[in-house]
Amino acid sequence: MKNIVIAIDGYSSCGKSTTAKAVAAELGYAYIDTGAMYRGVTLYLLEHGIGFEDLPRVEEALHQMQISFKRNRRTGRNELCLDGAIREDEIRQMRISNAVSEVSGIVAVRHAMVRQQQRMARKRGVVMDGRDIGTTVFPDAEVKIFMTADVHTRAMRRQVELADKGEQVPLDDIVQNLQKRDYLDSTRTESPLRRAPDAVLLDTSHITLDEQVDFVLERVSSVLVDGLRAAENG
């Protein structure tokens, strides 16, 4: 069985990252959370007082910052490192959620992160989730999934995640944040959020995590079996 690229795109809080991590673990693949990378850039800019409209300083910051992932041996998860320090908790804060769509729409940021993502997955055997994986980062990905869910379902999931990290946020605030991010992500000029023509739609509004994971794994199995048959016949 050859290693492939599995691209999982979709809206915020649809379960992309959780599903992608589980699929990667099942397959023994690497997992790359591209959304965390954009959150890392956002955190860096905010902490260094760099205005998002100050493009020369943003580009300079992109050359200076170091974004990577480090495996947490206790949890088995990859966590985002910014300049060598794990910042996983900070990048999940609401203040980052409120700004990340604006930052990820900056052309220089987009180009820098896409280049890094492509380098990370050069050897394939990877599950990558984000907004433009199947359309821009890996348009040749063998498996493409586009995830969606009702905005109120997504908001409730996000509220639980924030509460687990000690941040209490009213549900209406989260709904407004998600709607704003959906709009910005879908209308930006550079790599907008959209479903690739060959991506399979997965609505997670009323299904469990296990069902989401099984859906993706079944798609992977189908693609791999089709590939083997084509190789045998060719």
pLDDT digits (tens, 9 = 90+) for 51-105: 999 999 999 999 999 999 988 877 777 899 999 999 999 999 999 999 999 999 9
Domain membership flag for residue 119: yes
Tell me the pLDDT of the chain averaged across its residues: 93
Domain membership flag for residue 191: yes
The predicted pLDDT at position 1 comes to 58
Domain membership flag for residue 234: no
The predicted pLDDT at position 232 comes to 75
- Report whether 101 belongs to an annotated binding site: no
Domain membership flag for residue 184: yes
- Report whether 12 belongs to an annotated binding site: yes
- Report whether 18 belongs to an annotated binding site: yes
Q: Which domain holds residue 24?
A: 5-229
The count of domains in the chain is 1
- Report whether 14 belongs to an annotated binding site: yes
pLDDT digits (tens, 9 = 90+) for 148-196: 999 999 999 999 999 998 999 999 999 999 999 999 999 998 899 999 9
Average pLDDT over residues 122-149: 94
Which residues, 6 or more positions from 220, have their beta carbon under 8 angstroms from its beta carbon? 4, 6, 23, 27, 143
What is the helix, strand, coil percentage profile of the chain, to 5? 55, 15, 30
Residue showing tokens 């995830």: 147
- Report whether 97 belongs to an annotated binding site: no
CATH number for position 148: 3.40.50.300
- Report whether 38 belongs to an annotated binding site: no
The predicted pLDDT at position 234 comes to 64
Q: pTM value?
A: 0.87
DSSP string, 60-129: HHHHH--EEEEE-TTT--EEEEETTEE-HHHHTSHHHHTTHHHHHTSHHHHHHHHHHHHHHTTT--EEEE
Domain membership flag for residue 108: yes
Domain membership flag for residue 137: yes
- Report whether 44 belongs to an annotated binding site: no
